Structure formats: C-alpha cells, structure tokens
C-alpha cells in the first residue's frame, strides 16, 4: 500500500487495492466514525484507516465483534454523523440482529456497511453468500466489480443512505477486495467534527409491537422508492448486440465474463447486462433486456441469487426464455470463478468448443507446477 495515494488531496489517478479504494471513497465522502472487528478479506480497510489516523478528523474503534462495530456506527448515524464498518459475510451473522433492527429504525447520518463474501473459503470457514441479508433486512445493496467502482459506490452509498434514511450494504468478494487497479481520485472536502446533543435529536429509534408494524410499512414504501431510483443508476448498464443470447452478471464475475468472451472470440456476439444495484433489483431494466432474447446465461458466484430473480421476472415478460446458470448445471455453486471456468460455462451454454481449462491443467502437469501448495490454516484476522 502507498498510503500517500489514499490520502492525496489532489485529483489524480492512483494504483490501489480494492480495500484501499473503499477507504478513499469514505474519506472523500467525509466519513467521521469507523469501527471494525478484523477479518479477511476486508482487513486492509481497517489497516488503511488505522494508518491514516491523524491525517483526517475521524474516530476509529476496533471492537469486540462485528455486532458492536455496527452498533458503534449506528450510534454515530443516529446522531447525524457519517459512519462506516466493514466485515466478512460470516461476521455479518454476528451483526445481523442489529442490521435487521436498523432496517426498521432507519438512520440519519449516512451509514455504509461493507460485507465481503469469500468464495473458495480462502480465509473463512464457509462460502456463505451474504447477498441474502439485503432483501431479508430490506437494506439496499450495491456490488462493485473493480477498485474504481468500489470507491464510487461507497461515495454514492452515503448519499443514498441519507436520502432514504437507511443503511446501505456494499457487497464485495475476495477478488474485489484484493484486486488492484487504477482509481481516479476525487476531491477531499472535510467538514468539522461537531459535537451533537442527543436531547436535540428528537428521533424514534425503537421498534416493538405497533411501532414495528408501522415501520414495516415504511420499509416497504422506502424499498419501492429505492427500486424506482435504481432503475436510473449509473451502476447498471447494458451492451446490446443483434444476438438473441444475453448474459446477466454482477461483481467480479463481470470481469471474468469479459475475459472469457475474448478467449471464446464471442466478444461482440452476445448482449451483456451488468448489474451494480442488486437489491432492490432494477426490474424494468432486466425486463427490457430479456424480452426479445431466446437465451440468457447468468454468471454469478456462489448461490443462484440473480438467476432465481431472472426466473421470476421472465415468467411474465418472456416465458419461453431459456435461462442457463447454476440451476441448469453449467456453473457450480462451489468455489470462486475465473475466466476459464466462465469460458467453459459460456461455451457449454452456446454449444461451442472450448478446451482451454483442460489444456492449462495439462500444461501445468507437464512442467510440474503445483497448483495448490499445502499450508496450515490460520485465523482470518492474522
């Protein structure tokens, strides 16, 4: 890490890790409180904020667990102060009690929650898919595919959070957190850290019985407004071709897809819908994308989250549409993807030959490359 790039006040392009870009986005958004319990693949978010202490006026805590970290940020947000925490999806299990309550109570100052999944369980005890927290808690979710998008989405998430009075989840995966790339830096405009008197807040941050029932209706109304807003989000975009085959994807799978299509020489022969707002989903964008297609391939890591939504949307808009993904068996729900795995799945779905995966494995055997070196397990925070 080159800390001076993360802290740079001039506009320039810098090479940085996805986790560092998340910190940069938060600093540009004038975050005032950050709290963490350490855990890979988000550890560098904590490390970078720690290294930057003293350069900017924010408060930082390393807490007992992820639930406490989220509650520290919630307290700051209730007082109107922007806050951020980051954790792995396994840690979100610990914090979920607070997350579900925040869906009801709402927030005041922007609150951004970075939740990182760990496909292939590099540093986790499971390959949990954290995307399902968002619809269950009625919390909006954005998914970056690159460091630049990570920075941009963090800044936008603070705006969404304050506009709709709701926490916002930035869902990442290991290959987004630990991916490096060129990031265009924006202005850093910091405001003074002002003390807030709790007696002046006049807010209701409780839920029980009739209060909870009333707030549930407000949550549904808020989600409907977010869905309408996400239809116009700059983070969703489609590349249309004359083909009757399309691909729907999100997160780092989008980058794997681009490489896979180059390898298959299919770059301009399929339409692509890249989603950045994955809850609530921009259903009109999806409908417009699939309505004239004959086949859609869904490229996503872990569970069939997007694929299941596609089936539900297609039954009304294009019931004859063939949807291929995990449910059809061309992709597995296990492990993380790479361009070869995606190319193999795309080739299977489109009926073209692709021997790249097998050829690479065979070549590795010839030159005696060890693809996986045995190593002892360690805790993710080490």
What are 238-266's pLDDT values in tens digits?
999 999 999 999 999 999 999 999 999 99
Q: Same topology for domains 3-188+203-230 and 237-366, yes or no?
A: yes
Helix (H) or strand (E) holding 213: helix 210-230
Q: How many other CB atoms are found less than 10 A from the CB of residue 214?
A: 11
**Beta bridge pairs of residue 168:** 112
Confidence (pTM): 0.92
Architecture of domain 3-188+203-230: 3-Layer(aba) Sandwich (3.40)
Residue-range domain boundaries for the chain: 3-188+203-230, 237-366
What is the mean pLDDT for each group of 10 consecutive residues in the chain (382 residues)? 87 95 98 96 96 92 97 95 96 96 96 96 92 98 98 98 98 96 94 77 79 94 98 97 96 97 93 98 98 97 97 96 97 94 95 73 48 52 45
pLDDT one-digit tens code per residue, 286-331: 999 999 999 999 999 999 999 999 999 999 999 999 999 999 999 9
**What per-residue confidence (pLDDT) applies to 358?**
58
Annotation: CATH topology of 237-366:
Rossmann fold (3.40.50)
Only one residue has tokens 């350490």, namely 38
Closest CA to 108 of 71, 77, 73, 69: 77
Measure the CA–CA gap between 106 and 112, rounded to whole angstroms.
12
**Beta bridge pairs of residue 272:** 239, 247
């Amino acid at each position: 890490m080159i800390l001076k790039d993360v802290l740079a006040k001039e506009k320039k392009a810098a090479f940085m890790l996805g986790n560092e870009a998340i910190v940069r986005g938060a600093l540009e958004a004038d975050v005032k409180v950050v709290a963490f319990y350490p855990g890979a693949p988000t550890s560098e978010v904590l490390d970078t904020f720690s290294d930057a202490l003293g350069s900017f006026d924010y408060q930082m805590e390393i807490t007992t667990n992820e639930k406490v970290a989220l509650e520290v940020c919630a307290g700051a947000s209730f007082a109107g102060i922007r806050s951020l925490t980051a954790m792995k999806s396994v840690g979100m299990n610990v914090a979920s009690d607070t997350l579900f309550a925040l869906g009801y109570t709402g927030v005041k100052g922007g609150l951004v929650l970075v939740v990182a999944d760990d496909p292939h369980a590099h540093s986790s005890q499971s390959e949990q898919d954290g995307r399902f927290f968002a619809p269950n808690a009625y919390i909006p979710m954005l998914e970056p595919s690159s460091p630049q998008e990570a920075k941009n989405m963090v800044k936008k998430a603070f705006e969404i959070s304050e506009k709709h009075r709701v926490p916002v989840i930035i869902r990442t995966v290991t290959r987004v957190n630990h991916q490096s790339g060129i990031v265009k830096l924006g202005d850093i405009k910091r405001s003074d850290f002002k003390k807030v008197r709790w007696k002046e807040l006049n807010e209701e941050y409780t839920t029980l019985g009739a209060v909870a029932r009333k707030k549930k209706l407000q949550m549904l109304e808020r989600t409907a407004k977010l869905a309408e807003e996400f239809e116009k989000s700059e983070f969703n975009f489609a590349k249309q071709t004359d083909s009757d085959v399309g691909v729907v994807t999100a997160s780092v799978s989008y980058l794997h897809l681009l490489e896979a299509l180059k390898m298959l020489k299919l770059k301009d022969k399929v339409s692509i819908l890249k989603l950045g707002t994955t809850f609530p989903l921009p259903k009109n964008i999806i409908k417009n994308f699939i309505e004239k297609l004959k086949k859609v391939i869904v490229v996503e890591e872990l569970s069939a989250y997007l694929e299941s939504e596609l089936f539900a949307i297609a039954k009304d808009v294009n019931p004859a549409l063939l949807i291929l993904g995990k449910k059809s068996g061309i992709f597995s729900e296990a492990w993380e993807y790479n361009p070869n795995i995606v190319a193999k799945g795309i080739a299977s779905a489109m009926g073209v030959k692709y021997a790249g995966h097998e050829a690479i494995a065979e070549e590795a055997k010839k030159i005696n490359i060890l693809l996986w070196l045995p190593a002892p397990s360690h805790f993710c925070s080490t």
